[in-house]
Amino acid sequence: MSPPPPPLGRSRRRGGRSDHTFDPALDDLELIDARSQFTQGRWGGARALLVATGNDWDRRGHRLLGLAAIPSAADWARDWLLAEPESADAATLLGCACVVRALRPKAKAEEAARARQTCLAAARTTPEDPTPWLALLLLDRGREDGGDETGRLFEEVRSRHPEHHHAHHVMTAQLAESRPDSGQDPLHEVYDFAAWAAEQAPADSPLAVLPVVAHAERYRVLVAAGSEPGDPVASGHWSGRRARQVMKAAFDWWLEWEREDHPRHRVDLNFLAHAKVCEGRTAEAAALFHRIGPYATAAPWSYAGRDPYTAFTTARDHALGTP
């Protein structure tokens, strides 16, 4: 079956993008339940969820950011903190919620400074937790007037949890944006960083997929710079020797070590499926789409100016043979 030209091209939908929203909770049903209660101002479920999460740092960050994404999260976190002033969970959730609020398109400039101070206060309350530093990393990454402290903040996260999945993804996206005019440089720093992180991690670590993430992030940058076509099928970025090696190694890792227990494993599956579609490996993409199920993520399907939901569903239907 030949790779399809339309699925990963620009959306044909007049007026822009689909109305589909991507749930950051992914397949975490316990988070979804606690979030539903939290939306109504009942923070007891969130409290129990975070206590049960303990020091599973990847899961803790995933859950705190999932709770922080609701519009009223900062207000309910403040209520919780008033009731339990010593709660590190409440303080960290408030920091994450303030970061989410500061990153909204119409946020006022002072909200970023307030979010930063709130996260630093949470970090003092729970010095071993990388999550306040992850929130600061996202704040620095997401604001044009950020302090460009990404590297330092990444090291703050990594010193507390060397395999932090989300932080490595943020750092990869940042590094991919350096030297956009250098084209398909096989020695670009984002590739070195991803290879280094994958080599440093244990054999079963999802960071084995990071080189594929780096490849997709660099493609995003090159398309935006005008040095690669928006249609990945027409791009040599996905068909070179290095690309084939990276994608084969990541797919082989998935076959042997698939980490269904990792809270962000659906993120990795989406990057892998996207890579296999771009590579034209439809059968391998189909296996990944079966595992993804309904848990699509906006990245990387949104790259190259695409409507992510349209790109995902069209690529999935083609891979699975749906008319």
pLDDT tens, position by position, 271-298: 999 999 999 999 999 999 999 999 999 9
Q: Over the stretch 161-179, which tens digit does the pLDDT of each residue have?
A: 999 999 999 999 999 999 8
pTM over 0.85: yes
Tell me, what DSSP letter sits at residue 181? G
- Give the pLDDT of residue 144: 61
The series of mean pLDDT values per 10 residues for the chain, 323 residues long, is: 42 54 95 96 96 98 98 96 97 98 92 96 97 97 68 96 98 93 85 96 96 96 91 85 93 94 97 95 96 96 93 95 73
pLDDT at 209: 97
Q: What is the pLDDT of residue 135?
A: 98
- Which pLDDT score is estimated for 143? 65
Report pLDDT for 17: 62
Residue 304 in contact with residue 8, Cβ under 8 Å? yes
Contacts 24+ apart (CB under 8 A), 241-250: 242/186, 242/191, 243/215, 243/279, 244/279, 246/211, 246/212, 246/215, 247/212, 247/215, 247/272, 247/275, 247/276, 247/279, 247/281, 249/208, 249/211, 250/208, 250/209, 250/211, 250/212, 250/275
